[in-house]
Every structure is written in C-alpha cells, then in structure tokens.
C-alpha cells in the first residue's frame, strides 16, 4: 500500500488501516520530516494528514465509480492544540455526496480521539467523465 501513495504521503510516513467501525484511519508517525518547532508537529504536516484522510474516505465512498475527478472548492483547517511527540491519527466522514459536490469532515488526534488536535472541512467538486466528455 505504501508504494501506491503519492510522494508527499510517503514523506509524511503515512499508512492507512481500517478502524473497528470499518472507517479508514490514517496514521502519521512523529519523525523529523513532520517537525515544526522542536517537539511539535508542523501545521502543514497536520493539514496534509487531514487532506489524505478526507480524500481517501471520499474515494472509498465513491467505490468503483471510475471517471470521477475530484477537485477542491474550499478547504478549512482548524488547529485546536499543538501536536506533540506521538503518532497522529486521522479519519473522515463524508457528510454529503451529491452528483456534483461532496462535503467531507476530517479530524486528527493523538492519544485521545475525544481530544482532536485539528479538524478540516472540505468542499469538493465532482466531475464525472462519461461518453462525450465531462459532465
């Protein structure tokens, strides 16, 4: 699975598995490549983790629907507390999956899922490729 990930996901050291409820859970280990100030995660690394969780969950929800191109419309990241020297986890929920737009919420946490360190809200355009071009 790691070889299939984009270069930025590999740089972050991301891996993915299924949680107890079947949802995708992304894991980012604490390592030099994700450090901002000493002892804390870089905000860009947290945002990247949230983006991969959101997009991975959306593609999982789309299933085998080939020909769907996903483009971000709007992304908002809320940083709630500093990420420290621990593994960081993220999962997402598709809150709306329409024909043209999808809305996804992602949350990142470390030791306690009930205490998220950041959250992202993404609005995404879905372009469906079909006979005769995009729809």
What the chain holds in terms of domains, given with CATH numbers, is 2-64+79-96+106-120 (3.10.129.10)
Q: Which segments in the chain show pLDDT lower than 70?
A: 1-3, 64-65, 130-135
Query: What is the reported pLDDT for 20?
Result: 84
**For residue 126, what are its two tokens?**
């879905």
Which pLDDT value is given to residue 36? Answer: 86
pLDDT of residue 130: 64
Output the pLDDT for position 132: 46
Give Cα 46 to chain centroid, integer Å: 9
Dmax of the chain from CA atoms? 53
What pLDDT, on a 0 to 100 scale, did the predictor assign at position 37? 87
Upper half-sphere CA count for residue 92 (Cβ side, 13 Å): 30
d(CA 111, CA 46): 15
pLDDT tens across 96-126, in order? 999 999 999 999 999 999 999 999 999 999 9
**Residues near 74 by Cβ (< 8 Å), separated by ≥ 6?**
121, 122, 123
Burial of 36 (0-12, 13-18, 19+ CB in 10 A): middle
- Cα separation of 47 and 38, whole Å? 18
Cα 23 to Cα 98: distance, rounded to the nearest angstrom: 20
């Amino acid at each position: 699975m790691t070889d299939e990930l984009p270069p930025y996901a590999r740089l972050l050291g991301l891996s993915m598995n299924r949680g107890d409820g079947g949802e995708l859970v992304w894991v980012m280990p604490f390592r030099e490549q994700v450090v901002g100030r000493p002892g804390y995660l870089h905000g860009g690394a947290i945002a990247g983790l949230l983006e991969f969780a959101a997009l991975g969950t959306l593609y999982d929800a789309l299933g085998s629907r080939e020909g769907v191109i996903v483009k971000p419309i709007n992304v908002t990241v809320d940083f709630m507390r500093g990420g420290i020297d621990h593994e960081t986890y993220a999962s997402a929920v598709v809150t709306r999956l329409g024909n043209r737009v999808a809305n996804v919420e992602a949350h990142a946490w470390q030791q306690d899922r009930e205490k998220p360190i950041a959250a992202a809200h993404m609005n995404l355009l879905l372009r469906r490729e079909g006979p005769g071009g995009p729809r």
